[in-house]
Structure 1
Amino acid sequence: MLLRVMRVSAVPRSWFLFPVLIFFLLIVYHGAEANNINVTRVGLIIDADTRIGKEERIAMEIAAQNYNISSKTQKISLYIRDSLRATSAAEEMIREKKVKVIIGMHTWQEAAQVADIGSQALVPVVSFAAPAINPPLMQLRWPFLIQMAKIGTEQIKCIANIVHAYNWKRVVVIYEDEAFGGDSGKLALLTEALQHVGSEIEYRLVLPPFSSMSDPGWIVHEELVKLMKTQLRNFIVLESSLEMAIHLFREAKDMGLVRSDSTWIIPNSITSLLDSVNNSVISSMEGAIGIKTHYSEEVTSEYHDFHAQFRKIFRTEYPEEDNSDPSFYALRAYDSIRIVIQAIERMTSNRSSPKMLLDSMLLSNFTGFSGKIHFKAGQLSDTSILSIVHVLGKRYKEIEFWTPDLGFSTIPSIGKPNTWVAPVILQRNLQESPKGWEMPTDAKPLKIGVPGRASNENFVKVDYGVKLNENDYSGFCIQIFLEARELLGYPLPYKLEACNCTYNDLVHLVQNKTYDAAVGDFTITAERLQYVDFTAPFIESVLIVWLLEHQSNPEFSGSWRNQISTALWFAFSSLFFAHRENIHNNLTRLVMGVWLFVVLILTSSYTASLSSMLTVQKLEPNYMELLKKNNLPVGCIDLSVKKYLVNVVEFKEQNIKIIKNSKLFEQENIFAVFLEFPYEEIFYNKNCKEYTSTRLLTQGFAGLGFVFQRGSPITRDFSEAIIKLSEAGTISSLKKKWLTPQNECSANITSSEPESLSLQNFGVLYLISFVTSTICLLLFLVRLFISRQQHHNAFEGNITTGEESTWKKAVRLVRHFCIKNPRRAPTLADTAGANEYFLRRLLSTTFDTPEFRASSVPVEVEMQQTKDA
């Protein structure tokens, strides 16, 4: 069988090279494209096990992912390391991963160590931590450090302002020992800020690092037991991790330290996470005042997308978390990646140096999710606005805002002046102003010490009963305490207890918290104020060493003007016994004699008083110098007075004896006793017949007040109540009841200052002069009236006085009294015919008619006969 063989033509070998060529071209193309993409490696140092770390990681991954999708030439690659080994992690990422930027670190200690490495490797470091106080030459030491956190000064000042707003004098500070209160300087800064507002830190509670605790609940409980020994209930959490804060408040609430009379101030590191914790955590912080950085909550499309992405990823990766909303820390982490992204885009050259990248990052100027991003000297330059929040139940609300320059305000503004006062704002928003003190209750009343051996029973008197609770307390100080307590505005259970000790010992018993307060006649001194607080003084404390001629005399005749001027001149000239007018009438002589007697007494008394005022200070001996020069023994009733006599007046201590009553005066053989004003008054009230008091004002003390423990808010309330009692006159009434001397004693008290004379000193003399003048005037008028009636009856005959009206009688009497001759006044030679002269004037005035003129001669004859008779 023959087979047909077919010949196949050969294929060119060049065709087999075509696929290879295509594959090679594809590789070259993708390689060239890859070479045009610039990848920036960023290292993250965070604590991914904490809530803050979780939020920061997710936020930065979202920022990098969104940028990588939108950019074709630039990419961001993230490398995450644990902050527990921050230093070694930074070195490893720089050496092996070739990172260009490092972001993270929540403690200044970590940030400073990583910044040292970054400065050596020329790698910019973006820190989420800042020191409390900037170290010197900070930029020269860490030139590649960028701080995205504000220094702690602003938050510390805000805390001090809150303390001042509530008038807390002493506070308790709590912080977690992770360089928060030590190396960072926050504790020192807080101490200084509190001193500026008149407050101080009484107790510091340092908690160990949360990461080092095997049983956090038990350790925190044991530490809080220490706080139960103090009455302070205002706590400042200076700095703490969220995990530590959760255990802290949980145990504190179980122990009764989170109540209506307690106040907790929590920092930004905790307050900023309140949106991220469950309701049970917030409820354990009920009543707390939180401080957090304020940022604009304006919702943009970019923020809306970020918020949705964040919630979805966070809920997927951490389903055990109750809240998936981003906090301030997540927003800040997102903005940190945006700083890197904008810096990369600003650099036009493909070959960029680390210094160029750093400078480009420092040029950032935009409004991010966490606020305004703008740097100056490596730090955020814009002034922060802090929000003051109040935790209520299972939620919280913003009540105020605070800025360093303007203080508190109701709106988040840094450009408008603030017209509010912090206490008004905070107390208005909080239903009740927190006392910050363990207030007394019926089960645990205020324990008050009372001097069992008081200096004087008028101030404090203790009538001892069979049992301690059967003692009866009375006196001036006890009454003031009871009256002031009624004005407090809130119930104050108390228990009085007599203490048979010295006043200084009782003050120290209040200091060491044996007593909550002391009620009695306690002198306010600078030494005692170092240990306790005093109320406003309810009484002053001063150290004292208890050692009629008109009608018959022509001199007074004439017109009314002449009569008045003559009378005034006569009265004035008689003061100097220089009157020249002669006296004729016996009644006038009597009045004049009494008046001259009064003048004699007045001039003599005022001359003596004036001489005394001008010379008494020069003639008065210096009792202090006499007592000291002759080493004479003196006495006092209180140790504080003795110290004053030794240190100020410079008496020898051996010459001063402390005495308690007047019987010891004779036994101790002292020459003078130094008493404070209220005691001197009471003492002299009882012993005025045996002793003479010479008052020499030598020293004024601050007064007498009640004693309370340092920082007790009840002190202020009692001071306000005492001032109200003083303004209402209640204290004056009690002083009259308990402290005013008897009349017989007050009259015997002498003073070294000369007394001035007043009208009351001559009241009896003026009364005698007035009575004498009045009687003489009445007698003169009676005699004048009788004489007028006799003449009238004699000349009118059948006209009776009863037919004439009273008005006419008065007119005729006045006319008779006012008859005068201004042209010539009778002289002394005419005295014998004075009655005839006046009668003629009367007749010529009254009966000046033609029918009566003829009867003028019989009248003269009859008048002469009457005169002779």
Structure 2
Amino acid sequence: MHNKSLLRLLFTTLSPVLVSFCFAQNGTQRVVRVGVILDWDSSVGNLAKDYISVALSDFYAKHENYQTRLDPTMKDSENDVVVAASAALELMKEVDIHAIIGPQRSTQAKFIINLGQKAKIPIISFSATSPSLSPKDNPFFVRTAQDDGSQVKAIASIVHKYGWREVVLIYEDTEYGNGLIPYLTDAFRKINTRVSYRSVISPSSDYQKKILKELGKIMARETRVLLVHVTATIGSEVFRQAAEIGMMSEGFAWIVTDGLSTLLDPVHSNVFDSMQGVLGVRPYVPLSKGLKEFKRKWKRERLLTNKGAKNYMHYYNSEINLFGLWAYDTIWALARVVELVAQKNSSVFRPKTVGMEALGLGVSKSGPMLLKMLERTKFEGLSGEFHLRRRQLKPTAYEITNVIGKRERVIGYWTAKKGIISAAKVANLSRTSSENELKMIVWPGSTKFPPKGWVIPIVGQKLKIGVPVKNGFQEFFKVEWDPHTDEPKFSGFAHDLFLAALDKLPFALPFKFVPYSNSSRKIAGTYNELLYQIKLKKFDAVVGDTTINANRTSYVDFTLPYSDPGVSMVVKIKDNEKKNIWIFLKPLSWDLWLTTGGAVTPEFLRFIFYRNFV
């Protein structure tokens, strides 16, 4: 059994070589060469090579009767625009390819797309996602991925849900980074959210220093909602440095776009330690039967390949990569299309006609037909439905994720029709009725309360709030010291009222209570002296049972009174008297009774005499 697995793995790894060898021996099958341009040293490029090899093996194992076979020629762009362009020219001139898969990066794609347009060769990219590269403006450019612009409404919905009115953008100074910014600013404008600052990071040799400098500028500003649109290399450095200077603490809100969220590895993850509480969006991939089977096979074969490696368990726990799934589906789509075109007119795969002498390129006959068939191709791939709309992958729903521990937890979804919806029902997003709900989010600083998104820019300081220390009448403000930690603890009516007022503010206000006490932990002076500390700038404010009078208003400002002036006494009523119908007689004193009797008696006697003698 072990030997069979090794043989199957060997076939998967060497499939391009085996395919070419077998086709040369079989005259009934036509070899169709395609170019593949990737950055081999990058995480996406390295994974994509494996996914492409597995896709070829799986496709032709399932379609043994096909009369065409894709023969990929791999080229390394070395993360360089010039090298990528040179590789494309070499493939078109010397290898006689009929399509190019790649290039990997949007900056590399711009020039190669122009070459493809002139040679009429489809340039098919599963990772050049910048919306500035539009298939609409480039007829021979096909994007088998979702462009970055499709995620901006999902991001704007998150910002709108929490009522954040300002956002800081952190992005790369590249085609990939700059291409999304106009779409983001437009989406934020529609929800009345302002981009307060744009932090542009150039991917140069000293980008670490530039990141630290930019984070320092952001730290000094009011806005605490930060949207990061960078590649994995720069992104990991941004969060590492942000954690070091305290920007991954309570009060901050971080959101990453799908380019970074998709590339987060849940195990190879020192970067995860500095990304706790970060929100992200990424395209939703339904867990189909085919994807489940692929996951099992992928994990098994990766384990066999890396059995002796030190990070052996990393391969066991590694997740499927979305860019890899798009690369896999791209191979299946192209292999289908090549077979269909060959059935209609196999002569189009003959060498290109001579043209464009200046560059030494020819003009492809197969390119227009391949392009037309690709637009019509529709099937259920590993990443979901493969269906191109205007030569790019049809947008789907988005997952909303939250970094907790060593992985991203899905906390909800976003769809164009319903907006943010609950993660409770994922089998059929179109039937989900629970709207605008997310699972509980753990924000930076391990808090469960959403950040307000704005603070008074006090770098490295908090407002010092002076409070009185006294022995008697502590109901307004009470200060006591913890016997274990020797730290002061605060309570009382004025304390609670102050915290309630802060909670109503639309921004966070960092502060600390400072007891106005001496070494004996008694009040250090009179209330006048306590308030005068504000004028001396030793306190920023005072909270307590302070009275407003004319003398004090000359050096401090008071809030409106929150209690009636004066001192009142409240006592309990004791009433032991029994209640009866003669209670109304109780207020009458003996003097009043005697006076009344003395006045009534003469009149009564006069009445009697008058009656008897008259």
- Range into which the TM-score falls when normalised by the shorter chain: 0.5 to 0.7
CA-CA distance at 1:68 after TM superposition: 4.8
Distance 2:305 2:266 in 1: 11
Answer yes or no: is the 8 Å Cα contact 2:130–2:176 preserved in 1. Answer: no
State the match for 1:110 in structure 2: 108
User: 2:404 matched to which residue of 1?
Assistant: 392
Partner residue of 2:96 out of 92, 95, 98: 98
> Partners of 2:148 and 2:264 in 1: how far apart?
20
Q: Find the partner of 1:227 among 218, 223, 247.
A: 218
Q: Distance in 2 between matches of 1:313 and 1:42?
A: 29
Distance 1:438 1:34, change over 3 A: same
3-state SS in 2 of match to 1:485: helix
C-alpha spacing 1:366/1:175, structure 2 compared with 1 (3 Å): same
Change in 2 beyond 3 A, CA 1:231/1:315? farther
Does the 8 A contact of 1:276 with 1:326 survive in 2?
Answer: no
1:486-635 matches, within 5 Å, as 486=500, 488=502, 492-493=511-512
Change (3 A) 1:343 1:257: same
Q: Decide whether aligned partners of structure 1 residues 104 and 443 sit closer, same or farther in structure 2, where only a CA change above 3 A counts.
A: closer
User: 1:129-174: per-residue Cα shift (whole Å, max 9, x none)?
Assistant: 2343676xx53x4222211222333322222222222222222221
Match of 1:336 in 2: 330
Instruction: Say if 2:168 and 2:226, in contact at 8 Å, map to a contact too.
Output: yes
Q: Which residue of 2 aligns with 1:364?
A: 377
Return the offset for 1:344. 2.1
Aligned to 1:130: 129
Structure of higher RCO (CA pairs closer than 8 Å, 6+ residues apart): 2
**Counterpart Cα distance in 1 of 2:40 and 2:374:** 25
Question: Which moves more between the two structures, 293-302 or 264-273?
Answer: 293-302
1:148 aligns with 2:144: yes
Indicate conservation of the 8 Å contact 2:48/2:327, yes or no: yes
Q: Does 1:416 align with 2:431?
A: yes
Quick one: distance in 1 between partners of 2:328 and 2:138? Answer: 24
Q: Structure 1 146/443 Cα, relative in aligned 2: closer, same or farther at 3 Å?
A: closer
Amino acid at match of 1:76: L
Q: What letter corresponds to residue 215 of structure 2 in structure 1? A: L
Aligned residue among 61, 64, 70 for 1:71: 64
* Cα separation, partners in 2 of 1:427 and 1:497, compared to 1, 3 Å: farther
Q: Which amino acid aligns with 1:377?
A: R
1:280 aligns with 2:274: no
8 Å CA contact retained: 2:156, 2:191: yes
| Cα distance change of structure 1 residues 515 and 226 upon mapping to structure 2, 3 Å threshold | farther
Cα distance in 2 for residues equivalent to 1:370 and 1:169: 35
Matched, 1:483 2:497: yes
Are 2:200 and 1:200 aligned? no
Instruction: Tell me the equivalent position of 2:54.
Output: 62
Contact kept, 8 Å, 1:442 with 1:493, in 2: the verdict is no
Cα separation, partners in 2 of 1:424 and 1:320, compared to 1, 3 Å: closer
- Which structure has the highest helix share of the two? 1
Is the CA contact (8 Å cut-off) linking 2:23 and 2:30 kept in structure 1?
no
Q: CA–CA distance in 1 between the matches of 2:221 and 2:498?
A: 26
What CA deviation, in whole Å up to 9, does each residue of 1:190-218 have, x standing for no partner?
Answer: 22222322322222222221xx32x5544
Letter in 1 for 2:272: I
Q: Aligned equivalents of 1:517 and 1:378: distance in 2?
A: 61
Q: Residue 38 of structure 1 aligns with which residue?
A: 30
- The aligned counterpart of 1:766 is none
Q: CA deviation at 1:326?
A: 3.1
| 2:75 counterpart SS class | strand
Distance 1:108 1:487, change over 3 A: same
- Verify: 1:87 aligned to 2:85, yes or no: yes
- Alpha-carbon distance change, 345 to 302 in structure 1, aligned in 2, over 3 angstroms: farther
**Amino acid in structure 2 at the alignment position of 1:63:** A
Which residue is 1:444 aligned to?
Answer: 461
Against the structure 1 CA distance between its residues 442 and 380, is the aligned structure 2 distance closer, same or farther, given a 3 Å change threshold? closer
| Corresponding letter in the other structure for 2:462 | P
Q: State how far apart, in whole Å, the 2-side matches of 1:421 and 1:446 are.
A: 36
8 A contact 1:261–1:436 mirrored in 2: yes
Contact 2:284–2:398 under 8 Å retained in 1? yes
Cα distance 1:482–1:515, how it changes in 2: closer, same or farther (>3 A)?
Answer: farther
Q: Give unmatched runs, 5+ long, in structure 2.
A: 1-21, 349-365, 467-492, 504-508, 515-530, 543-548, 551-556, 567-599
Residue 187 in 1 paired to residue 181 in 2?
Answer: yes
Check conservation: 2:201, 2:207, Cα contact below 8 A: no
AA at the equivalent of 1:71: E
Amino acid at match of 2:512: P
1:296 aligns with 2:286: yes
SS at match of 2:53: helix
Cα distance in 2 for partners of 1:117, 1:517 equals 65
Tell me the SS of whatever aligns to 1:230.
coil
The one-letter amino acid of 1:483's match is L
Which residue in the other structure is 1:405 paired with? Answer: 417
- For the residues of structure 1 that align with 2:28 and 2:408, how far apart are their CA atoms? 51
Q: Does the 8 Å contact 2:440/2:448 carry over to 1? A: no
2 CA distance for matches of 1:357 and 1:205? 42
Residues 1:245 and 2:235 are matched in the alignment: yes
Q: How many pairs were matched up? A: 463
Q: CA RMSD in A?
A: 4.4
- Listed as ranges, the matches of 1:23-34 within 5 Å are 34=26
| Structure 2 partner of 1:476 | none
- Please give the TM-score of this superposition, normalised by the length of structure 1: 0.47
- Match for residue 163 of structure 2 among 163, 167, 170: 167
For residues 335 and 442 of structure 1, what CA distance do their matches in structure 2 show?
49
Deviation at 1:418, TM superposition (A): 4.7
The 1:259–1:515 alpha-carbon spacing in structure 2 relative to 1, beyond 3 Å, is farther
Equivalence map 1:723-802=2 (5 Å): none
Query: Which residue is 1:610 aligned to?
Result: none
Matched-pair identity in %: 26
What amino acid is the match of 1:485?
L
Please state how far the C-alpha of 1:59 moved relative to its aligned partner.
0.4
Change (3 A) 1:304 1:419: closer
Deviation at 1:445, TM superposition (A): 2.5
Whole-angstrom distance in 2 between the partners of 1:447 and 1:31: 79
User: What SS does the aligned partner of 2:175 have?
Assistant: coil
Instruction: State the alpha-carbon separation in 2 of the partners of residues 134 and 42 from structure 1.
Output: 22
1:233 alignment partner AA: R
- Aligned residue among 433, 436, 448 for 1:431: 448
Cα contact 1:131–1:151 (8 A) shared by 2: yes
What displacement does 1:49 show? 0.7
> Are the counterparts in 1 of residues 464 and 512 from structure 2 also a CA contact under 8 Å?
no
| Whole-angstrom distance in 1 between the partners of 2:282 and 2:565 | 57
Corresponding residue number in structure 2 for 1:859: none
Counterpart Cα distance in 1 of 2:30 and 2:332: 16
Once the 2 structures are TM-superposed, how far is the Cα of residue 337 of structure 1 from its aligned partner?
0.1
Q: Identify if the C-alpha distance between structure 1 residues 518 and 376 changes in structure 2 by more than 3 Å, giving closer, same or farther.
A: farther
Alpha-carbon displacement from aligned partner over 1:336-382 (angstroms, at most 9, x marks no partner): 0001111123232323432222222222211111111111221223x
Q: Give, as a single letter, the amino acid of the residue that structure 2 aligns with 1:119.
A: Q
Does structure 2 retain, via aligned residues, the 8 Å contact 1:62–1:306?
no
TM-score for both structures, normalised by structure 2: 0.64
